[in-house]
Amino acid sequence: MTAREYLGQVRALDDLINAKQRELYRLRLSATSLSSPTFGEKVQTGGENRSMLIIDKIIAMQEEISAEIDKLVDLKAEIRERISRVYNPQFIALLTDKYINGLTLEQIAEKMDKSYETVRGWHGEALQIFRKENNMS
């Protein structure tokens, strides 16, 4: 795994969590839109209730999301520790903003009050140092 792929795991896991949260939101909408039987309607018995199935899915999805969030927190801590090995405060800030906080190089350049080209060059240097300090290819 390259340094860029390793650092990119945060965004991939964050995207996965966000996708699951959107799915959970849709499940919750389904659960709240279920109607109760009205008088005169025949209630079927013998099968699982649709609302209970949705509630089970909601609970399972919440557990999945919680586990993914735990993984994300641990991964960010591990990556933050590895980024700290770079020892250049500007490069540490750049790598942290890019790979932990999800900012683009354009946003980082604006935040640091530097040109995009400068930040892009720093990014390349920072990745080289990161690779070297963490024994990566």
pLDDT tens per residue, range 7-40: 999 999 999 999 999 999 998 988 887 555 555 5
| SS3 assignment, position 24 | helix
**How far is residue 133's CA from residue 127's CA, in Å, rounded to a whole number?**
10
- In this predicted model, what pLDDT tens digit does every residue of 32-69 receive, in sequence order? 875 555 555 555 554 457 778 888 999 999 999 999 99
Q: How far apart are CA 135 and CA 113, in angstroms?
A: 31
| Per-residue model confidence (pLDDT) at position 105 | 98
What average pLDDT does range 94-115 have in this prediction? 97
Question: Which residues, at least 6 apart from 108, have a Cβ–Cβ distance to it below 8 Å?
Answer: 94, 97, 98, 119
**The pLDDT of residue 103:** 97
Average pLDDT over residues 98-125: 97
Query: What is the model's pLDDT at position 36?
Result: 54
Task: For residue 6, give both structure tokens.
Answer: 């390793």
Task: Give the SS3 label for residue 91.
Answer: helix
Is 104's pLDDT higher than 70? yes
Q: What integer pLDDT is reported at residue 37 of this predicted model?
A: 52
